[in-house]
Structure 1
Amino acid sequence: MPTLKPPNLQNKIIIQITDTHLMDQPETEFVQINPEQNFHAVIDDLLQRFPHIDALIHTGDLAQIANPETYTRYQNYMQKLGIPFFQIPGNHDDLAHFPFHTPDPIPTVIELGEWSIILLNSAVQGQTDGWIQTEQLQHLKQILEQQLDKNIILACHHHPFAMKSHWIDQHKLKNTEEFIHILEHFKHIKAVIYGHVHQDSKHVWNGISFLSTPATCVQFKPLSHNFALDDMAPGYRYLQLKENGEFETEVFRLKNFSQKIMQEISGY
Structure 2
Amino acid sequence: MTSPSAIAPSTGHALVTGASSGIGAQIAREYARRGVPLVLTARRADRLEALAQELRAQVPVEVIAADLADPAAPALLVEEIGRRGAKIRILVNNAGYGVPGRYLKSDWKMHTDFLQVMVGAVSELTWRLLPSIRDAGDGRILNVASFAALMPAADGQTLYAPAKSFLLKFSEALALENANRGVHVTALCPGFTYSEFHDVTGTRAKMRVSPRMWLDTAEVARAGIDGNERGDVLVVPGWRYRLMHAVVKLLPHRTAMGLMARNSRKVRPLD
Scaled to the shorter chain, the TM-score interval is 0.3 to 0.5
Q: Which has the higher strand share?
A: 1
TM-score (norm 1): 0.42
- Higher relative contact order by CA 8 Å / sep ≥ 6: 1 or 2? 1
**Structure showing greater Rg:** 2
Q: Which has the higher helix share?
A: 2
